Structures are given as structure tokens and as C-alpha cells.
Amino acid sequence: MSENLPTAKKTIILVAAAKLFRDKGYKATSMRDLAAAVNLKASSLYNHIGSKEELLKEICFANANRFLKGLEEIDHQNICAFDKIKALLKLHITIALEDITSITSFNDEWRQLSEPDLSLFLEMRKDYEKRFIQIIEKAQLEKSIKSIDPTICLYTILSSTRWVYDYNKQSKKKKPDQILASIQKIILDGISLKNLSSN
């Protein structure tokens, strides 16, 4: 993965690739499809990228780093564990609403990465999940959420955000803060020992 920030054109290509990977699947997406999506000839596409897998790799690792950085910042805040869970839920929803590439990398297409990238990505993903679970366990020790299996709690929280991008794209009625408030109420009221999500 390139250490340099992507150019404006490459950013456009990355977003187009993410949409194609989501809609057609990584394997079914051709370089010709991608070139057409960004109004370039297939041969010109290689002036901006090395390969289709390079795009998938950049999408996956950029988002893995984004989530880990967000967790790091939230975990270092001087707030209770319940409020950290609330902040992490907001992080996931906000990213899902703002960035389609997060949906691509955190649902299915990361499985198409080759080694050693696949193992590295899974390591980062497991690290994120492990640290999130530790926050859930701390909230249980603080008696702010129910004694639910922490792993089930984690995956329920994560799965509650995966549909958000498509819903928001299709819905013209709901604003992002309304979507966030609705999901937070459902999830946080469901796990909390008190009605804390409105605080």
C-alpha cells in the first residue's frame, strides 16, 4: 500500500471501485468496468493505479486504520465505558453514512485480499474487536449494561450499521442525525441497565 496520500483522481477511482465491488463483487469487476466508471480508457487507468487488488488493499487498510484511530481516540477519553460504546456506535454509523469504502472493506470483499495482506488485515480487525470487547466488559463491570455475552453484543452493534449507507442513499426523509439517534436508541436502550442513551 502506498504511503502517500492518494491524488484527487485516485480518490475518485477508489470510490468508484468501492461502488463496483459492492454492486458487482470484487471478482466480477473488471478494469474495463472501472475505467468506464471514471471516464478513462482502460490503458489510462494504469497511470493512476497498479492493479485492481491494489485498490482493494488501499480501501481495506485505510478503513482499518480509520477505525483503529477512532477507537484509540475514544478509549483515551475520560468518560465511562457506556459512553465509549455510544461513541463507537456513532463512529461506525458516521463512517457508514459518509464513506462507501467502509462498507466494502468491512463486509465481504476483504476476503479477496492475498497473503500476507489478508492475514495483516485480519490481525487489525481482530485487534479492533478485542479492544471493543474490553470496553463492553468494562461497561458490564461498571453495571451500566446488561450481562450479555460481550462477543454477541459486539457483533450485534457492528451488524446494526452495515445497512446504513444503502438506506441513506435510498431514503430522502431521514437526516444523518435522525438515523444515528434511532439506531443509538434501539441498541443502547437494548443493552443498558437504565435508560442511559438519552443522557
Of 5-9, 39-43, 75-79, 157-161, minimum mean pLDDT range: 5-9
At 1 the pLDDT is 41
- pLDDT at residue 147 is higher than 90: yes
At 43 the pLDDT is 84
- pLDDT at residue 30 is higher than 90: yes
Hey, what long-range contacts does 153-160 have (CB within 8 A, 24 or more apart)? 153/191, 154/129, 156/187, 157/85, 157/88, 157/89, 157/92, 157/132, 157/187, 158/92, 158/106, 160/89, 160/186, 160/187
At 2 the pLDDT is 41
CATH class name, domain 59-191: mainly alpha
pLDDT tens-digit series, residues 35-80? 999 999 888 888 888 899 999 999 999 889 999 999 999 999 999 9
- Give the separation between CA 47 and CA 137, rounded to whole angstroms: 48
Overall average pLDDT of the 173-196 stretch = 81
Question: How sure is the predictor about 173, in pLDDT bands with cuts at 50, 70 and 90?
Answer: low
In one letter, which amino acid is 125? R
Is the pTM of the predicted complex or chain greater than 0.95? no
pLDDT tens-digit series, residues 14-24? 989 988 998 88
Overall average pLDDT of the 2-27 stretch = 81
Burial of 114 (0-12, 13-18, 19+ CB in 10 A): exposed
At 4 the pLDDT is 52
Q: How long a stretch of residues is the chain?
A: 199
16 close to 37: Cβ distance less than 8 angstroms: yes
Question: How sure is the predictor about 199, in pLDDT bands with cuts at 50, 70 and 90?
Answer: very low
Q: Which residue in 85, 104, 87, 88 sits closest to 162, CA to CA?
A: 104
